[in-house]
Structure 1
């Protein structure tokens, strides 16, 4: 059994593409489960679909009233952006296109595409069939005996050999479809459709789809929530042609890198020897118990570890307040960042002069063996806010509150104060658009961000991040 995971998928139905999440089989308390992003009740179950990965990501960031909220890796999904929740080609299922695929020659690609499409529909049915005695009447898919089968988080998995399909439940047409021998042969691969008998079997697949597929889609359609849990409407969905055009226009990672390099602002002045520009991606990780244990020391000395995450990388440093003004581990307006808490601790144990040396409790910091682990309130992910603003501008309005601005803005204000970044202060203060949004967030943090506001705020925030980046240097 593979480790628990959650996979973004796309379903094309009725000339619309809907994005959602699927949790492949995982084991918990000795039982095997599967689930989709949706809601299950005693008499109904639905899968939430969204018009864009951005809308999906915004829902995941703000909602827990769904069947994946208790999944072991859900806390990871909450922090993902639209790019991370965009399905790869292997997880895009065109339910409208099965007739066209069946009309092709039975090569490996056609057979695998039909098998994968019918398989995902059977997995959906297993999770969505909530009629009485569901776990006696589940539908098995097209995989062989060793394939891991799945169920919704509210239904115990009933493992069956391939082809052992029970009648009944809400998905009678699908049950009949997968019981057809020719359809069952899809799980055997392209070899099942070679020669005269194979040609007959392929024709049988097409005939079965002609007879039953529309009924299958009707059964499934009763359980597809095209409102994204009440966050979108049908008008928000582009047609399939429009969605494909948008997908083609998205730059590849290599193109994004090139474009980013071409548009990047001038690099800050070269730092002193032993210092390199911030360019190390990653985040500091520690268990809550480890952070809590370390916090006792750091709070006692009045100097706290801080993590800052930017597009170019992430690092940890130290910060305290003197006369209510932020002071960082650094010198002459430059803040020193370290790739790991261990690197930071080694620097602190050295004898280099910096702006925290004169703090009365610094000798305790220099001598401690307590790792500098940032608490959650002292971790400032400036990239996450950029992703949020992009998602809202792309159509996820109404899902993100102004409160999302509070913590990252708090972090950059401290950096700006220490480094003398007057431009940042200007951008974060009314009448600047970003400053107005911050002020609204302070007055009413539960108010949601509007798409038109986010489109204006994103470039302003990008400028803030660029200014802040110029004050941060990574120490070796």
Structure 2
């Protein structure tokens, strides 16, 4: 379990919604620990975030003060006691959620519920809780994500989890109801706490909006690249990284069609920026020479005044994609995949061959997979599911088709 520090949580139990603090996991002196707000054998819960705040500010003794992140957490504003959406756990509602289909949201929600319930059982030594999880190993599969439950076998496993919960969940919830202590606080201070929480939340929202506005203004500023020799010429240096190696080349678009530094379908690539510039000074037999802005660009290159400048939008990384594809749908960075696919398609279009089209005709499921991942085209109801080794293998073959066009790699 990833370390989260200390987080406020809402727990929906038989008698309603309760609020407390949870330290999901931390390591200290070589051992892993987890805890909830409480003292000795008691686990404290409160009927509102305001009451939780009143308790924390009363300086009453509790065990979380020994947590290494306590000082940092307690120095936060009044809204530090308000759980975010991911920390609102409907424990009593788990069976109803499992009766639905294993969507991404449902699986993620159940995974979070199981995590907090398992932790509650461990901290309070509630035997019905720990016994439930130790007796049903299939429960741990919710942490694998929605893809794990795709297809007939996956749906069967989702149903098995639902049956285990339906049969045992009342005992689990009853044990948790008995394990928590609803802590009373001085009601005199609750209204003031509620006011300060609202003010802190408003201040956070204002700060977030201010940050977004600043980011928007920064994004609207003129990009220095646009006034560079490359930006003015409309000819872009590009960096391509595959299998831990990187090469540089150039590309532009003429009448909407990609044109690379190269000839006869071979892309001239270089292991360093300086090597590319040196080559340009001594050679002019390539397709980019027909660009109308090429002579002007070369004036600066020949004079040694123009350095190679790669814009961040012209950096293409294939690194890790094949491995991510083989892991799961959620593991893939679709933005990275989209940019990589754009480069492969540009190279094939410039070369004027049908290599990619032919490949997809022979491997239609790979075309469906890419269309699904990038949200383009009609996949006729196709949804990718594990195992993904064939997709990973096909992606590597597409990468090989690209690198075979390189003059140096």
Normalised by the shorter chain, which TM-score bucket? Answer: 0.3 to 0.5
Q: Which has the larger radius of gyration?
A: 2
TM-score of the aligned structures, taking structure 1 as reference length: 0.42
Higher helix share: 2
TM-score of the aligned structures, taking structure 2 as reference length: 0.47
